Structures are given as C-alpha cells and as structure tokens.
Amino acid sequence: MIFAVLGFLSGLISGMGIGGGVILIPALSFFTDWSQQQAQAANLLFFLPTACVALYKHHQEGTVEKQTAKSLVFWGFLGAVIGSCLAVGLDGTWLRRMFGVFLAVMGFLELIQAKKKENP
C-alpha cells in the first residue's frame, strides 16, 4: 500500500512539473531498506513515463518553449551522465546528505521568492 501512495503522490507532483523525486527518494530511503542509490534509480525509472505524460499535457497547453527546451535537454543529458557516474561512486550516506542539502537550499530559495512576491 505504501508504494501505491508514494507512486500517486509522486506522480501528482511530477504532473505539476515539480519533480516526484522530491517525495519519492526520501520516502523510499525512510520507509524501505533501500540504499540512496537504489532509491534514486527507482526514481529515474518512475520519472520516464510520468515526464512523458506531463510533457505531452504541457505541450498541448502551449506552455513548452521549444527553443529553451532543446538547450535544456542537451545540457540536462550531459549533466545526467556526469551525475550518474558520480552517484554510483559515492557513499550512500554522502549522497543522502548532498540530496538533503539540495532540498533544503531549494526550499529556502522558494521561501525567499514567495516572500518577494508577497511584498513587492
């Protein structure tokens, strides 16, 4: 049952364009005995179909900037190759810490951005 809930919540957030890994990776690390690398690998497998569905829907709505997307795809692919090579070579504890710091920084930046919009 936990996988159904995690899958649904992650898919819901992925469809919004946020990224289901924000929920999926920490949840798999906490609620299973999977390593950080296993949780990230599962997230990548989960990401492919959900990203395709979300991209299709966003394209239908006309919210995809094709020129920007082309550049992002190229650089994202390059970053994914380098990042995956680093991830499989790093200790799971360090990888988990780095992911946690990343999430904290992104959350902090979102709070700052929301505050700026609230008080222009």
pLDDT digits (tens, 9 = 90+) for 21-53: 888 888 888 888 988 888 888 888 888 887 788
pLDDT digits (tens, 9 = 90+) for 88-108: 888 888 888 888 898 899 889
Provide the number of structural domains found in the chain. 1
Domain span at 93:
2-118
- Give the distance from CA 40 to its chain's centroid: 9
CA distances from 114 to 15, 21, 84, 110, 119 (A): 21, 22, 32, 6, 9
DSSP string for 56-105: HHHHHTT---HHHHHHHHHHHHHHHHHHHHHHHHS-HHHHHHHHHHHHHH
